[in-house]
Amino acid sequence: VIDIANTTTTLATGNITADTYFRAIVFNGYCDVPTAPVGITIKKANYISGSWDITPDPRTTAIIWTTFSSTADVSACNFILKSGVAAVFNINHTLTVQNEIDTSAAGASLTFENNSSLYQVNDIANPNSGNIIYKRNSTQMKVYDFTYWSSPVVNQNLYNFSPNTLFDKYFFWDTLPSFYNWRVILNGTASMQRGQGYIIRSPLQLGNAADVFNGIFTGAPNNGSFTKTIEVSNAGVNNLNLLGNPYPSAMNADVFFDVNTTAVYNSLYLWTHNTAVGTFVNFQYSSNDFATYNYAGGVGTLPATNLGVNNGLPNGKIAAGQAFFVRAKNTGSVVFNNTMRVSGNNNQFFRSHNSINTIEKNRLWLEISNSNGAFSQLLFGYIQNATDAKDDGFDTNLFNETPTVSFYSILNNEKMTIKADALPFDENKTNQLGFISKIDSDYEIKLAITDGLFDNQNVYLQDNLLNVVHNLKQSNYNFHSAIGTFNNRFLLRFSNNNLSNNQNIVNQSEIQVFKQNNDILVQSSNNKIASILIFDLNGRLLHEKENIDNDRYIINNLLLNNQMILIKTITADGLTITNKIVF
């Protein structure tokens, strides 16, 4: 009973979860006069014996009275299971609930199969009663493979999640040490904390044949807004933090960036374990197995199956159960909340999108590979809101060099795996490309995917070593490389103007090359020489000298015998010329 004397005639009741009746009692000076009761009835959709009495919707409390197996998505205000009832949401189906899930009745169970979703809309902390079972399959794993996990439920024990993992192969990431950051959780005794990422090695019974691990999370589903601590090491040398999607639905990475733009750099890294583990002694795991994502798009770790198709590219939707690395700007915290959650889009899970604010994207993906499986990919684009300077969220540095080959754009001498330039598109601009080859190998560069204006735009690769401009829309480009870092060999360009018209190529007469016994003299007539690189005709680097700062340079004791070599000279003004001589 609420005394409404001397108040307004409006009553705010708060949440109503059951049928409720109201009436007012008015004192008229002599007697209490009650009004007629007014009932508020909660709209209910009952599932009995295989069918709904009415179709549930966001204003309806859905009540499951008998065994339920989804045939489509379901939307409700609240979702309640009665005693002894088993309900299952099948693959790719989503249960959307505005408020609470109640599975607390005796013998009730609510199961979400792999790639299904529980999407709760309202940002209410811990509104749920009872547990769910959430299933998440890894991608195919072999013995010694790790998967990066995060729990969508409360207090999931690590050992119970993967009981056949070796006792010392449960890890979390500690940002603070300046060296080895993985910390073991012996016997998997800890419970997984919401928003925290973990890595767990494959079960012991897995052999060399690839197999899927069927992960099962059991607990109350996480929901609502909370914060998670992030750190930068005391020495300032490490800012990586391993986080994870805390919800039993996919999470939009772009919205996570928007909410946390002052806390983290707007790029994330996802482990894929596509590369086979190293020797039994060393157990080496390839840093090339981190896929990358920012506002511009994703870069993967596997080649496109054909032009325009690569299912291994991160799409900006972080699947339930998925952990990921971010780089912290400062020690502080990140926010997780329901605005980041999305319905469906829960099928891209790494062993290891559509933005809320749609922006114009014109992108291309280049891949470098060899016949033995070496692979690296970069993304370049002209994208709305990007600038030609380095932009957080549009330009992302190479995560790590790989054991074989790394491919990147160059921006202010930094290696970028994703690089976005400002609109409008200018076909006369070029983009400097670099690569690191840790093996002597033949390689192929491929235009793998295009979108936006690049669907109808020629894309050229300029080889400064061989003075070749190649149309990647017509065919892939094949070349040989020695071991080394090559940041000046390739340019990405969009017009096929002849190299002789390029302002960065000087006249042949300005650089003179002479053979003197076993030495080579390089002399510049107008500019000081900055650096010199010498290659054979297969592209193998034979000699390199930087910071010359002179108008002449002598190369001594080249161990060659009657072969053609290429001498590439770069002047202090950044101009280049390549000479051929027989040595």
pLDDT of residue 287: 45
What pLDDT, in 10s, does the model give residues 263-284? 999 999 998 755 444 433 333 3
pLDDT of residue 17: 62
Distance (Å, whole) CA 116 – CA 282: 38
What pLDDT, in 10s, does the model give residues 328-339? 999 999 999 999
353 confidence band (pLDDT: 50, 70, 90): very low
- Average pLDDT (229-245) is 87
- Average pLDDT (91-117) is 96
pLDDT of residue 225: 95
The more confidently predicted of residues 539 and 59 is: 59
- Average pLDDT (61-74) is 97
What b-and-e string marks burial along 500-533, b requiring 16 or more CB atoms within 10 Å of the CB?
Answer: eebeebbeeeebebeeeeeebebbbeebebbbbb
- Average pLDDT (164-189) is 91
What pLDDT, in 10s, does the model give residues 195-235? 999 999 999 877 677 788 999 999 999 999 999 999 998 76
The more confidently predicted of residues 460 and 556 is: 460
Residue 256 host element (H or E): helix 253-259
Which residue in the block uniquely carries the two structure tokens 């001397």? 6
pLDDT of residue 338: 96
DSSP 444-481: EEEEEEE-GGGGGS--EEEETTTTEEEETTT--EEEEE
What pLDDT, in 10s, does the model give residues 557-578? 777 777 778 888 888 887 778 7
Distance (Å, whole) CA 44 – CA 77: 9
18 confidence band (pLDDT: 50, 70, 90): low
DSSP 40-96: EPPPEEEEETTEESS---TTSEEEE-S-EE-SS-EEESEEEE-TT-EEEEPTT-EEE
Average pLDDT score, the chain: 86
pTM: 0.79
- Average pLDDT (436-461) is 95
286 confidence band (pLDDT: 50, 70, 90): very low
Bond prior to 424 in cis (omega within 30° of 0): yes
DSSP 102-155: E--STT-EEEE-TT-EEEE-S--SS--BS-EEEEEEPSPB-TT-EEEE--SBTT
- Average pLDDT (445-461) is 95
Q: What are the structure tokens assigned to 40, written together?
A: 């508020």
What pLDDT, in 10s, does the model give residues 249-261? 999 999 999 999 9
pLDDT at position 6 over 60 = no
pLDDT of residue 211: 84
- Average pLDDT (233-247) is 86
pLDDT of residue 272: 74
238 confidence band (pLDDT: 50, 70, 90): confident
pLDDT of residue 549: 92
- Average pLDDT (513-527) is 84
- Average pLDDT (522-545) is 85
pLDDT of residue 110: 98
What pLDDT, in 10s, does the model give residues 470-489? 999 999 999 888 899 999 99
Distance (Å, whole) CA 65 – CA 72: 18
198 contact partners, CB below 8 Å, separation of at least 6: 148, 149, 150, 158, 170, 171, 172, 185, 192, 242, 244, 323
pLDDT of residue 506: 43
Q: Is 507-582 a CATH 2.60.40.3080 domain?
A: yes
Number of residues written out for the chain: 583
pLDDT of residue 4: 58
pLDDT of residue 400: 81
Q: Pick from 491, 486, 265: which is nearest to 397 by CA?
A: 265
- Average pLDDT (3-8) is 58
What pLDDT, in 10s, does the model give residues 20-49? 777 777 766 667 777 777 767 678 999 999
Q: Residue 546: is it exposed, middle or buried by C-beta count within 10 angstroms (0-12/13-18/19+)?
A: exposed
- Average pLDDT (314-318) is 90
Radius of gyration of the chain (CA): 31
- Poorest-pLDDT segment among 67-81, 251-265, 424-438, 510-524: 510-524
